[in-house]
């Protein structure tokens, strides 16, 4: 059985409750990519790019109608396991910011926060990263500081209306790290460096997800 991944908030996008684990959910109408049907991704990093919240589900699909590089849409979907990925997303965002920390003159409190995740430092780290992202010299440094800002923002996000911000911040931290690596490499090698950073982020996120589901089983 092929495994897929799907993020939700505390309900489905159409407002319905999250189905119980093991219960097949079936869409009775037209199946059309990004419009209607039941979506999922074969890679959790791809699923993250569409995440409306921080609940991550490992799912099975039946009746796959259409495939794209980063997602599929099917007639039926069944949840096999679920985790609250909030802390995982925050850790991933910090990892991404740390991967490009060497590209800018980061204030010590930001470095300490990214390395420890100490919530007592989060507010000050976010403020410092916000100022640094605005004032840093050069695109690479600005993007690297932006990744730190996004990592701190992920920790600010809470339950309820802000739940989706955790996934948003994690996506942005990875994107900023990719752009920082690309700009630091220069014109000739920038695209390759950015692609390598994006590929590394994919593998890091997959490893975090696999470990989280294993620990939750």
Report pLDDT digits (tens) over 82-120: 999 999 999 999 999 999 999 999 999 999 999 999 988
Answer whether 56's CB lies under 8 Å from 5's CB: yes
Question: 22: left (phi > 0), else alpha (psi -120 to 50), else beta?
Answer: left
Residue 2, SS3?
Answer: coil
On whether both 104 and 203 belong to a single domain, the answer is yes
Residues spanned by the domain of 115: 87-216
What count of other Cβ atoms lies within 10 Å of the Cβ of residue 59? 24
Domain limit, last residue, from 84, 108, 137: 84
Q: What is the DSSP string of 31-89?
A: -BTTTBSEEEBSSHHHHHTT-SSSEEEEEEEEEEEEE-SS-EEEEEEEEEEEEE-HHHH
pLDDT at position 4 over 90:
yes
pLDDT digit string (tens) for 122-143?
Answer: 889 988 988 888 887 789 999 9
On whether both 100 and 145 belong to a single domain, the answer is yes
pLDDT digit string (tens) for 171-186?
Answer: 999 999 999 999 998 8
pLDDT digit string (tens) for 185-215?
Answer: 888 898 999 999 999 999 999 999 999 999 9
On whether both 50 and 28 belong to a single domain, the answer is yes
Q: Which residues contact 49 (CB under 8 A, 6 or more apart)?
A: 70, 171
On whether both 95 and 79 belong to a single domain, the answer is no
On whether both 65 and 112 belong to a single domain, the answer is no
On whether both 126 and 74 belong to a single domain, the answer is no
On whether both 46 and 128 belong to a single domain, the answer is no
Residue found by looking up tokens 């910090």 in the block: 94
On whether both 61 and 139 belong to a single domain, the answer is no
The pLDDT assigned to 123 comes to 87
**Residue 137 burial (10 A CB sphere; 0-12, 13-18, 19+):** exposed
The pLDDT assigned to 101 comes to 96
Domain limit, last residue, from 46, 68, 84: 84
On whether both 180 and 96 belong to a single domain, the answer is yes
On whether both 115 and 212 belong to a single domain, the answer is yes
pLDDT tier for residue 216 given thresholds of 50, 70 and 90: confident
Structure pTM? 0.93
pLDDT at position 159 over 50:
no
Q: Which of 13, 142, 127, 2 is nearest to 72 (CA)?
A: 2
Q: How many domains does the chain have?
A: 2
pLDDT tier for residue 157 given thresholds of 50, 70 and 90: low
């Amino acid at each position: 059985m092929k495994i897929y991944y799907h993020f939700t908030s505390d309900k489905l996008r159409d407002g319905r409750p999250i189905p119980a684990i093991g219960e097949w959910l079936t869409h009775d109408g037209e199946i059309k990519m990004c419009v209607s049907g039941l979506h999922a991704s074969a890679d959790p990093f791809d699923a993250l790019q569409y995440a409306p919240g921080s609940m991550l589900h490992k799912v099975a699909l039946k009746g796959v109608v259409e495939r794209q590089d980063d997602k599929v849409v099917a007639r039926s979907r069944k949840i096999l396991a679920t985790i609250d990925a909030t802390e995982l997303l925050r850790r991933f965002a910090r990892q991404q910011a740390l991967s490009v920390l060497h590209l800018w003159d980061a204030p010590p409190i930001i470095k300490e926060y990214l390395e420890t995740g100490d919530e007592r430092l989060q507010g000050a780290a976010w403020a410092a990263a916000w100022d640094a992202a605005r004032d840093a010299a050069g695109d690479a440094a600005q993007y690297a500081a932006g990744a730190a800002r996004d990592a701190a923002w992920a920790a600010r996000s809470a339950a309820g209306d802000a739940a989706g911000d955790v996934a948003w911040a994690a996506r942005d931290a990875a994107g900023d790290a990719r752009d920082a690596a690309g700009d630091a490499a220069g014109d000739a090698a920038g695209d390759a460096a950015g692609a390598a950073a994006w590929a590394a982020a994919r593998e890091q996120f997959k490893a975090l997800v696999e470990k989280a589901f294993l620990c939750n089983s």
